[in-house]
Structures are given as structure tokens and as C-alpha cells.
Amino acid sequence: MCEKFGIDDKTRFLVLHFDAQLDHLKISKIINRCERTLRRWESRLRRGEDPRVPKKGRGCKKKITAETENKVVEMVKENPEAVSLKKIAARIGLCDRSVAVILANKGFKYQRFDDTVLYKEEEKMNRVEFCKRMLADEGKLIYRTFFSDEMGIQLNEAHKTRVWQLPNEKIRKKAAVEHIKLDCWGAISAQGAISLDIYKGGMSGDLYRKVVKRHKIEMEQLYPDGEFYFLQDNLSAHRMNEEWMIKQPNLNLIKLPRRSSDLNIIEDIWIALKRRVKSDGPTNEAELRASLLKHWELLTKADVLQPLLEGLYSKYVCCVEKNGDKVD
């Protein structure tokens, strides 16, 4: 009968509530509506509202025109760093979500800045020349070079942030008792690596000479015929020692082009080393040192380094093919 005369459920609810004095449980069975909905209507009645009247902000959403969409896109393109969803929404008269939907439909994604290194032409040329030199004679230099570099690690950075535990457990991580930063210097080659040198306070020119002298005998032991090369980057402590390095017997210097850490294989070792040390979760300087030394030895065995050196050959080929652009 109600459907025949076009009586909606809210009107039927009001009649049964006021005239028949029925509670929402009985009304629910009569008009076939869930109790939760009826309780919401009753709540509006207690606030003096008519449940048949839509609340402000409900009903039909504001229609987004093509002109509005174009304005959103223009604002983003005009200054992508300064704009935000809230700023755009306030100027256009939409909610944040609507702006996000417009941008998504237009193919925009909220993602990291492009941090690709942009090289000058001279830098590209130097990188290509370096790679060609390393590739000459079937990559002989690759397999007779010590790739050296420095790396720093802080004790607090070497902490785990997650641990396997049951839902009812609350495992607290062991707190670091010291604020310690250690610096490391190392060198790797196809025949293996020298021992890791751990120090504090950054690398100075004097310390660098002492470090190289300290480990030169290890290099000579790995290449007893005396034919090996030593690669270093453009750190100031390295540059100020170039003349001294050139004068050293059995230490043929190779300079890595500027901004070319992607061409130094030891960078991969540093990443792996930090990851493994973090898995140990050291809490003091002694534990941090022990973890660094242990994992350095494991990561720099000759058989472990061999695949990395083969990959380095391919990386140099790729750099030449890309005319000196950065390689992954």
C-alpha cells in the first residue's frame, strides 16, 4: 500500500514512531530497515531535526568540470614543489580527496624527486675514458686494481626497528649505551681484500698516508708479482696525497672521475656491510667494531667478490654505451 502511494520509509518511520508509539525494534520489522539506521533517525529526532531533510554537505556532490580539472593541473605544473592538496583544494573550492582523484586520473603520482646525477659534458667524457681504460686488454685493470673508499656508521643507525614477536608480547630493543660514530677504510680486489681499518674523526691527509702505508704490505701479499693498481676517489685527503702516492713503489694510482661512486664496486660492499651490522643490533662500541670486522671478512672473500667484479665489467660497458651517464 505504501509503495502504491509513494510513501517513503522515513515518513513511515515518523508515523509509526509518533502515532503508533512503536519502538525502533518493531518499526524495523515493519518497514524492513536495519536497527542501526533507525537509531540514527531517532537520534536526529532527539536533536530536533527532521530525518527526511538531507544533512548539509550530503546529497549530490559538486560537479567537477573540465575547466576545474585543468586549473588543478596548471597549479601543479606551475610550481610542483610549493603546492599541496590543501592549497589547491582551498583555491579551487574542492576537498583534498577530490583534488587527489583529479590528479590521479590525469596520470600524476606523488613520488620522490628525480635525483639522477646530471653530468657536464666534460664529466661524461672523463667517465667514458675511465671505463675504456678499465676495459682495455679484456678488463685486465679491473682484476688487478684495489678499489678503495671510506664509510661512516653510527651506533644508533645500526639498530633494528622490528623484531618477530607474538601479538601479546612487547619486546623492547636493547638501548645503545653510547653515541658512537666509527669511520672505516677498506680496499677490495679480485684476489681478496685488505683488513678493514676502523678509526674516528674522519679522514685527514696525514691519517690517509698512515692508513695506506699500514695496508700496503697486504696488497703486495695478494699480488706477489707487484703488478697491481690502487683506485681512489676525489676526497680532499686523497687529492693532497696524489704526488706521494705516485712516488710509492708498486702502487700504481688510478683516479676515479668526479661524482662517479657508481663506478666504484666497494660501494656495494658498504651497503651490504651496513645491512649486516644492523641485523646484529650492536649496543656499544666494542660490539659495533666486532660486527664490522666479522662481516667485512665474510663479504670480501675472493669467491664472494668475483661475481661483483664480473658485474663491474658489464657496468663499465654500459657507461660507455650511455656516453658517460650514470649507471645503476
Give SS3 for 286.
Answer: helix
The answer to whether residues 203 and 93 belong to one domain is no
**Global pTM exceeds 0.75:** no
The answer to whether residues 84 and 156 belong to one domain is no
Tens digits of per-residue pLDDT, 85-128?
Answer: 888 888 888 888 888 888 888 888 888 777 778 899 999 999 99
Tens digits of per-residue pLDDT, 277-288?
Answer: 998 888 889 999
Angle of helix 85-92 relative to helix 96-105, nearest 10 degrees, comes to 100
The answer to whether residues 93 and 144 belong to one domain is no
Contact (Cβ atoms closer than 8 angstroms) between residue 192 and residue 301: yes
Query: Which residue, 260, 228, 268, is CA-closest to 325?
Result: 260
Distance in angstroms (rounded) separating the CA atoms of residues 324 and 127 = 5
The answer to whether residues 129 and 99 belong to one domain is no
Domain boundary among 74, 105, 136: 105
Q: Residue 161: what pLDDT?
A: 58
The answer to whether residues 137 and 277 belong to one domain is yes
Q: What is the count of structural domains for the chain?
A: 2
Task: Indicate whether 43 belongs to any domain.
Answer: no
Residues 6+ apart with CB under 8 A from 265: 147, 188, 308, 309, 312
Rounded to whole angstroms, what are the CA distances from 154 to 100, 177, 261? 39, 13, 21
pLDDT < 70 regions, the chain: 1-6, 56-62, 157-178
Domain carrying residue 96: 66-105
The answer to whether residues 269 and 304 belong to one domain is yes
What's the CA angle centered on 134, arms 130 and 140, to 5 degrees?
Answer: 165
Task: Indicate whether 194 belongs to any domain.
Answer: yes
Domain boundary among 49, 78, 105: 105
CATH number of 230's domain: 3.30.420.10
The answer to whether residues 91 and 224 belong to one domain is no
**The C-alpha cell of 199 is what?**
678509526
The answer to whether residues 134 and 239 belong to one domain is yes
Q: What letter would DSSP give residue 178?
A: S
Radius of gyration of the chain (CA): 34
